[in-house]
Structure 1
C-alpha cells in the first residue's frame, strides 16, 4: 500500500513541476507541552507570545483542537501520519517505534518532489523511533546543547530527564538547510521542547516570568518561531509557504491533580493550539468548530492538491480556512488515549470519545462531561446520563474494533536494550513483560483508576526536579513517601538513595540499594557513584559486591573498568588486568581502559606493546592530551624521539597548562639539536607559566644541564 502511494505521488509530482506557479512550501512548528490557554491569542493576557499572536492575526486560529494523546511520540506520530495511536501503533514514549508500513507526510511530499527536513528538540523524537521516515535531512543531534568546542560537557545531564536542546539550537540545525533549498519546494518540521518539564528558562524570560517558568519557556519558544518566520521573509519565500503551528499536547499544571501530563485524559492535556496560514486564507479568522491534530495531514495534502492515503483518519480543514466557504455538516467524533498508566505503572488505561457536546473518558472509572456547559470537566455526568454514557461507550468500542490494527513486529522496541534502559532510568517503564498483550486494542476497565494515583506521578516529577536542583532534603522526603506508596518499585529506592548520598548519608544510601532484590538496569550510574565513594572510604569488599550486582544487569565498560580498579585495591593483579580487557571486549573504543592497559605495559617495560595501545587510543580519542604525552614518553623509551616530539607538541596544544608536556617537548627538541624550536617552545612556556619551579627546570633542560 505504502509503495503504491509513493509511486502515484511520483507521477503527480510531474504535473506539479509543469505548473506555472511554484508549489507552496510547508512549514510545520510543533510546540511540546503547550496548552492552548497559555497563549495570548487564546486569551491569556499574562503571556508573551507576539509571534504566535501575529500568526493567529494573519492566519486562521482553531479554538477547539484536540490531540490524540497526552504524550510526545504518540501525538507527533498522529500529526505526521493523520492516524490515531490505535492505527499508527505508537502508544507511549520510547517503548514503540513508528513502523515502516506507516506513511508519513514527509514521505508523501518527498515522493512529490519536495525536499524534506526536520530538527527536533528532545531524545523522545530521535530518529531511531521511526519518526524520521521520509525526511532527507533529520537533525536529532542533541550533544551540542551540553558540549563546548572541545567536546567537554558544560552542563551535567543525569539520568532524570530526556536529553534535549533549546529552541535556538533547533533553529541552528534547520535554517542552513532551509537556505540551501529555498529555490525548490520544501517541507520542514521544527520541534521545540522548551515548555516541557523541567523548565529552566534563560534570561530575559526567567526575569519576565520569575514565578512562572512555564510561561517563560513558551515565550522563549515563541521568539525562536519568530526568528524562523523572519528568515522566510529574508529568503523571499514566506508568501508561498503554508505555516502551521500545533502543540503535541498540553500540561496539567495542577488541574485535576495532574501537574504534568501522560496519565489523565482531560482537556488540560488534550486541548492544543492550532494555527494555519496559507495564501488567501481568512486573515484573523477564528474557527470554533472542533478539530483535531489528526486533521493536519489531510489538510496539507488538500491545500497542495495531492491525493490522500487510504488509511488517513483525519479530515481536511480547508473548507474552514476560507471565510466564503461553508463546510456544512457536523464535525466528526474525535478519539484520544493514554495507555501509559498501564505500561509505566501497571494501572488502568484511559480512552476518550468526544462527540458533539459530550466527552466520554473510558477506563476503570468512566467519566462523562458536557463540554459546552462544563469546559473544565468538573461535573461528572456518568451517573446522571446513563443512556448517553452507554451510547458513547458503544461508539468507542465500535471505533476500536473497526479501526485498530494488530501491533507490528517493529512497533515495540524490544530489540534496543539501550533505549529501554534509558526509559527505566527515567522511571517511565516498570516492566517489559507482556508489552504486546498490554497494548492489544480492546475496551478495558480493569486496573487501578489513573485518577486515583496521579498524585504518585506528581511526586515522581517533584523528586526528580529536586534531585536535579540538588535540593536533597526535599528530594529525600518525597522519595520516602514514594517508597511508602510502592515499596516494590526499585526506582523509588534508587532516588531515595540518591538524595541520601547527596546529604552525605553514604552508608544509609548504600544499604538502601543493597536491599533491592535486583538492580534496575537503567539506574546503574547512581550505584556506581556509591561504589566509588565506598572505595574512597576503603570499603573495597562492599564496593566489589555492589559493582558485581551492577555488572549482572549492565555490562558497561565503565563498570568493568571500575571493577578492575577495585581488584587492584584488593591486591588481585590477575583480575585487575582481566577486568580492563573485559571492558575492551564490550567496547573496543572505550579509551580509558585501553590507556590503563598501556600504562601497565609501560610500567612492566613492554614499551612496544604499550605503544600499540596508545596508537589505538589516540585513533579513537585524538583530543586527549594525556594520551599524547604518555605515548610520547613511550616513544622516547623506544628511542623514537623524532616521533615523540609531535605528540608532546599536540599535548601542549590541547592543554596549554600541561607543564610536563612543555618540558618534555623542550627536552626532545633540544636532544634532536633543533635549538631554535626548543627556544621557541621555552619562550612559549615563559609567556603562560608563572611557576618558577617549572621555569627553572625548563631552563636547565634548555641549557643542557
Structure 2
C-alpha cells in the first residue's frame, strides 16, 4: 500500500509538531496516568443527551461528560468496526494501515505505529476486553496487549464468540483491575470495547421494556450501564481522578436515514459522526466543549503526547487539545464494491462542507443542512472542485482481499457481514442508486438475524433474480436454505457465491461442507484439495479432508489431516477419538480428545462397547476422579462393575448417576432390572415406573415395553 504523499498529508491534518505546540497548558503531560479507552460500537453522537438528544437516559455518560472535554464534531474514517479501530490505534488512515474491511485485510501491527505496543514498550501494563468477534485477536489487534480478553481463550473464542454483553466484558475488565496491586504497579493502558448498540438491537431488561419502541436507544442505555460499572470500579480503586479517559464510537448507524438501516454502505453524517469525550487527570478542562472538527486518527497521538511519549512522525492525527479549523477529514467505504459489486465511496469534510466522492458525487453544507438533504454541488462548484482535487490526490488503491477462514466467515455472517468479498471491476453502480436493492437486502439480513429463515429465503430468492451478481445475496440465501434443510438448493447457492467470489477458499469450504453433509464424499474431497492449490496449509481444507476420511472409515488419513488442520469440531474429535479407542489405539485417542474428564469418559465408553470392562473401568474412574459430577460416567461405570464385581457395585454406581441426573434413563432401567432380579421389588417398581413415565419412546420404545412386562410380573 502506498503511503500518503507529503502534500496530501498536509491536506488531511495539521502536522503533529505544530498541533502539539502552543501554550504550556496544551503541552501538559501526565506520565504516570492510567489510560482508559472505551469504544462503544455503532453509536451515533446525535442519540446521546450529551449531544442534545432527549429520548434516552445515560446517567454514566452524562457524568463523564461533566468531567470531560466534549468534541462536537468528531468523525470516523470508515463505518466498519475493524478498519475503524485500526485507525484509532495507529493514527493512520485506512489506505495507510491497509485494513479496508472487516475480513480479508489482516492488520500488521509490526509494520505500523501501534498504540498498545508503544505503551507496552514504555512500561505500561496493557489489556483489552472486547465484545465482538470482529475484533478477535487473530485480526492482528492483539499485538502489544499483555491481556486480550475476547470471552474465551484462543481457538474457543474464535469458535464461540459472536457478541458478548457489555456487562460481561466490563466484568472481565473489572476483575483485571482488581487483580492489580494497589501500590507499586506500573501504569496501565486499558481498552474496553462494547458491542451495544450494534444490530441486532436486543437490549437486556430493564431497558428492553423501557425502550420497547426504540430498541437502538435501549442498547445505548445498556451500554451506559456497563460504562457506569467500569467508571465506578475506577473510582473504587482511586484510579478515576488521575486517569486519562477517552470515550468514543468507531462509527454511527443509518437508522433508515438516506435509505440505510445499518452502516458500511454510505458516508453520510449519521454513519461517520461519533461521540468523543476526553477526561484529563485532575479534572482539567472539565465540562468544556471543542467545536473544531476531530477525527479518530487524533486519538493515538493525543494519548501518547499527554503521557509524555514521543509521537511517531507517521501518525497523521493532531492533538485533541490544539485543534484548528484548517483541516480536511478523510473517510471511505469499500464495502459496497467488495460485497455488493457497486462502487466504493470516499469523502472529505472541511469546515462546513462534506464532499462524498463516487460515480454520482454529492456536496453538502452540514451547517445549513445537518440532515444532508440538499446536494449543493451545482451551487458550490468551486468548493466541489477543490475538494475533489484534494481527495483524488490521496492514494486509495484497493488491493484484493486475502483469504478468510470459514469459521471467521461464519461468525461475520452471524453479525450481518458476509466474509471476504471480491474486488469488483468495470463500470460499477453508485450505491446511492441501489437503495431499493439495499432496502431488501437489509430486510433480509434482519430476518436472518431473527432466524426467520423461510421469510428471508423468499425475499433473497426474489433479490438474486433481480441482481444475479449480488455476492451477499447468494451467501445469505445459502445460509437460509441450509437452515430450511433444502440441501440441493443450498449447494446451488453456495456454488454461485463461490463463483462470484472468484473461487475464494472460504466459499469453496462451504461447498465442500455441503457436499460432505449430503454424503458426496469424493466431491467434497476434490473441493477441499482445490483449496490447497493456492494455500497448502489451509486449515479449513485439511479439516474437511479429515472429516471425509473419517466418514469413509480411513482412520490413518483422518488422523494425519487432523494433525495438519490442528483443529476439529467437538463432534469430529469425539467420533475420531472413539474410533481410535475402539481399535485399541489409546495413545492416539488421548491425543485427539485432549485429555480431561470428558475425554476419559469417551475412552471408557469406547472400551465398554468392545467388551473390555476392566479397561473401561480404568478410564471411567479417571474421569470421575477429575469430575465426580459426570452422571454418564457413573452410568457406564455401573455397567463395567456389573461384569467385574456384580450387582451391588453396579447398583451403587447407577444410584450415584441418578442422584446427579434423573434423566439417566439407562441407569434407571438397569436399576429396575437388576433390583428385580435381586428380589428388591420395591426399588425395582419405583425405578421401572419412572422409566416408563419419563423415557423418550422414540429412543427407548422396546425397553419401555420390556419394563411394562416386568412391572406386570412383579405386581407393578
TM superposition score category, shorter chain reference? 0.7 to 0.9
Task: Give deviations 1:619-642, integer Å, cap 9, x for gaps.
Answer: 356425751332442786385576
Counterpart in the other structure of 1:62: 71
- How do 1:22-33 and structure 2 match up within 5 A? 23-33=32-42
1:356 and 2:351 matched: yes
After TM superposition, give the deviation of residue 35 of structure 1 in Å.
0.2
Q: Distance in 2 between matches of 1:201 and 1:146?
A: 25
Counterpart in the other structure of 1:188: 190
Counterpart in the other structure of 1:77: 86
After TM superposition, give the deviation of residue 66 of structure 1 in Å.
1.2
1:117 and 2:160 matched: no
Q: Distance in 1 between matches of 2:218 and 2:82?
A: 24
1:283 and 2:282 matched: no
In structure 2, do the counterparts of structure 1 residues 622 and 87 end up closer, same or farther at CA, with 3 Å as the change threshold?
same
After TM superposition, give the deviation of residue 225 of structure 1 in Å.
0.5
Counterpart in the other structure of 1:127: 137
Conserved 8 A contact 2:635-2:654: no
Conserved 8 A contact 2:550-2:576: no
Q: Distance in 1 between matches of 2:597 and 2:508?
A: 28
For residue 402 of structure 2, the aligned residue among 414, 417, 420 is: 414
For residue 671 of structure 2, the aligned residue among 695, 699, 704 is: 695
Counterpart in the other structure of 2:703: none
In structure 2, do the counterparts of structure 1 residues 477 and 640 end up closer, same or farther at CA, with 3 Å as the change threshold?
closer
- How do 1:141-180 and structure 2 match up within 5 A? 141-142=151-152, 163-180=162-179
After TM superposition, give the deviation of residue 70 of structure 1 in Å.
1.0
Greater shift in the superposed pair: 278-287 or 34-43: 278-287
Counterpart in the other structure of 2:232: 230
Counterpart in the other structure of 1:480: 461
Q: Distance in 2 between matches of 1:296 and 1:369?
A: 26
Unpaired runs of at least 5, structure 2? 1-27, 532-539, 681-716
In structure 2, do the counterparts of structure 1 residues 448 and 566 end up closer, same or farther at CA, with 3 Å as the change threshold?
same
Give the SS at the match of 1:47: coil
Q: Distance in 1 between matches of 2:58 and 2:144?
A: 31
Counterpart in the other structure of 2:222: 220
Give the SS at the match of 2:241: helix
Counterpart in the other structure of 1:316: 319
- How do 1:2-13 and structure 2 match up within 5 A? none
- How do 1:108-507 and structure 2 match up within 5 A? 108-142=118-152, 163-181=162-180, 183=183, 184-278=186-280, 279-319=282-322, 330-398=325-393, 400=394, 414=402, 417-418=405-406, 421-422=409-410, 428=418, 431-432=421-422, 447-489=428-470, 491-500=472-481, 502=483
Give the SS at the match of 2:197: coil
Q: Distance in 1 between matches of 2:199 and 2:232?
A: 28
After TM superposition, give the deviation of residue 47 of structure 1 in Å.
1.0
Greater shift in the superposed pair: 133-142 or 196-205: 133-142
In structure 2, do the counterparts of structure 1 residues 390 and 489 end up closer, same or farther at CA, with 3 Å as the change threshold?
closer
Q: Distance in 1 between matches of 2:154 and 2:139?
A: 21
Q: Distance in 1 between matches of 2:462 and 2:285?
A: 53
In structure 2, do the counterparts of structure 1 residues 642 and 334 end up closer, same or farther at CA, with 3 Å as the change threshold?
closer
- How do 1:463-612 and structure 2 match up within 5 A? 463-489=444-470, 491-500=472-481, 502=483, 518=499, 521-522=505-506, 543=520, 547=524, 551=528, 559-560=544-545, 563=548, 580=558, 584=562, 586-587=564-565, 590=568, 592-593=571-572, 596=575, 608-609=584-585, 611-612=586-587
Give the SS at the match of 1:68: coil
Task: Give deviations 1:379-412, integer Å, cap 9, x for gaps.
Answer: 10112221221112222234x15xx7x89xxx98
Counterpart in the other structure of 1:105: 115
After TM superposition, give the deviation of residue 265 of structure 1 in Å.
0.8
Greater shift in the superposed pair: 689-698 or 120-129: 689-698
Conserved 8 A contact 1:118-1:189: yes
1:629 and 2:604 matched: yes
Greater shift in the superposed pair: 286-295 or 221-230: 286-295
Q: Distance in 2 between matches of 1:20 and 1:358?
A: 34
In structure 2, do the counterparts of structure 1 residues 259 and 636 end up closer, same or farther at CA, with 3 Å as the change threshold?
same
Conserved 8 A contact 2:39-2:249: yes
Q: Over the residues paired in the alignment, what is the CA RMSD in angstroms? A: 4.1
Number of residue pairs matched? 630
Conserved 8 A contact 1:564-1:579: yes
Task: Give deviations 1:74-101, integer Å, cap 9, x for gaps.
Answer: 2112221222223222222222233222
Give the SS at the match of 2:245: strand
Conserved 8 A contact 2:345-2:358: yes
Task: Give deviations 1:295-323, integer Å, cap 9, x for gaps.
Answer: 2223223333333221221211224xxxx
Conserved 8 A contact 2:340-2:470: no
For residue 61 of structure 2, the aligned residue among 52, 55, 66 is: 52
After TM superposition, give the deviation of residue 247 of structure 1 in Å.
0.6
Q: Distance in 2 between matches of 1:137 and 1:686?
A: 42
After TM superposition, give the deviation of residue 239 of structure 1 in Å.
0.9
Greater shift in the superposed pair: 227-236 or 628-637: 628-637
Counterpart in the other structure of 2:714: none
Conserved 8 A contact 2:40-2:194: yes
1:681 and 2:653 matched: yes
Q: Distance in 1 between matches of 2:388 and 2:380?
A: 12
- How do 1:13-24 and structure 2 match up within 5 A? 23-24=32-33
Unpaired runs of at least 5, structure 1? 1-18, 320-326, 439-444, 535-539, 568-574
1:643 and 2:642 matched: no
After TM superposition, give the deviation of residue 374 of structure 1 in Å.
1.0
Give the SS at the match of 1:239: coil
Conserved 8 A contact 1:116-1:188: yes
Give the SS at the match of 1:308: coil
Q: Distance in 2 between matches of 1:204 and 1:124?
A: 27
After TM superposition, give the deviation of residue 507 of structure 1 in Å.
6.1
Give the SS at the match of 1:238: coil
Conserved 8 A contact 2:30-2:306: no
In structure 2, do the counterparts of structure 1 residues 660 and 35 end up closer, same or farther at CA, with 3 Å as the change threshold?
same
Q: Distance in 2 between matches of 1:487 and 1:431?
A: 15
Q: Distance in 2 between matches of 1:502 and 1:645?
A: 37
After TM superposition, give the deviation of residue 43 of structure 1 in Å.
1.3
Conserved 8 A contact 2:65-2:277: yes
After TM superposition, give the deviation of residue 282 of structure 1 in Å.
2.7
Task: Give deviations 1:308-349, integer Å, cap 9, x for gaps.
Answer: 221221211224xxxxxxx7x534221111122222233222
Counterpart in the other structure of 1:667: 642
